[in-house]
């Protein structure tokens, strides 16, 4: 069973995840080390399909097709919108295991090493046709 675990951040000044730029260097280092360790653990358990971090939302653009299909980009976002900043694709035995991994990611260390307990959205990835029910 495949799942995507999505790590979101709020693009506002109060957001603790955004605040990472203001953390002391050792806290940043601990946070990044934790994420590297989590990926390593998932790779070694044979559960990791992929994991990616995304560029900062300030670099993001919203694109719509204009007349004749020309891209119209929009870089202005409403305040306190939530943004995807990273995700894991995992292949596990069931939802309970996906929740356990999400909880582990959620508790990544923040300032002073305290767990961030940030929200991780868990969504199952659609699969092929179901067994034929007779």
Partner 1 sequence: MTTAGVEHLLRELTPQVLGVLIRRCRDFAAAEDAVQEALLAAATQWPGDGVPANPRAWLIRVASHKLTDQIRSDTARRRREAEAAMEAGYAMPAASPHDDTLILIQMCCHRSLTTASAIALTLRAVGGLTTAEIARAFLVPESTMAQRISRARQTIRDSGVAFEATKNLAPVLHTLYLIFNEGYTASGGGSLQRTDLTDEAIRLARLVHALAPADTEAARLLALMLLTDARRGARTAGDGEIIPLDKQDRALWDHGRIAEGVALLGDTLPKGEVGPYQLQAAIAAVHDEAATHQDTDWPQILTLYEMLDRVSSNPMVKLNRAVAAAMVHGPRAGLAMLGELDGDPRLKEHHRLASVRAHLLEMAGETEAAVRNFQTAAARTASLPERHYLLAQAARLRDR
Binding footprint of partner 1 on the chain (CB under 8 A): 2, 43-50, 91-93, 124-134
- Cβ 96 to partner 1 shortest distance, Å: 12
Q: In the sheet that 82-91 helps form, which strands lie side by side, from edge to edge?
A: 48-53, 82-91, 2-10, 120-124
Pick the closer one to partner 1 by CB: 36 or 125: 125
Using the minimum distance from each CB to partner 1, give the nearer residue, 83 or 88. 88
Q: Between residues 49 and 107, which has the closer beta carbon with respect to partner 1?
A: 49
Using CA atoms, how far apart are residues 29 and 123, in angstroms rounded to an integer? 29
Q: How far is CA 37 from the centre of its chain?
A: 16
């Amino acid at each position: 069973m495949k799942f995507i675990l999505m790590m979101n951040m709020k693009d506002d000044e109060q957001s603790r995840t955004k605040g990472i730029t203001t953390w002391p260097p050792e806290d940043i280092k601990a946070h990044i080390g934790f994420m590297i360790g989590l990926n390593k653990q998932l790779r070694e358990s044979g559960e990791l399909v992929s994991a990616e971090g995304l560029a900062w939302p300030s670099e993001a653009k919203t694109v719509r097709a204009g007349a004749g299909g020309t891209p119209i980009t929009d870089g202005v976002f409403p305040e306190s919108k939530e943004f995807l900043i990273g995700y894991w694709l995992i292949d596990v035995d069931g939802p309970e295991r996906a929740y356990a991994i999400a909880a582990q990611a959620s508790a990544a260390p923040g300032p002073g090493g305290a767990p961030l307990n940030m929200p991780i959205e868990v969504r199952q990835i659609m699969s092929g046709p179901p067994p034929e029910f007779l």
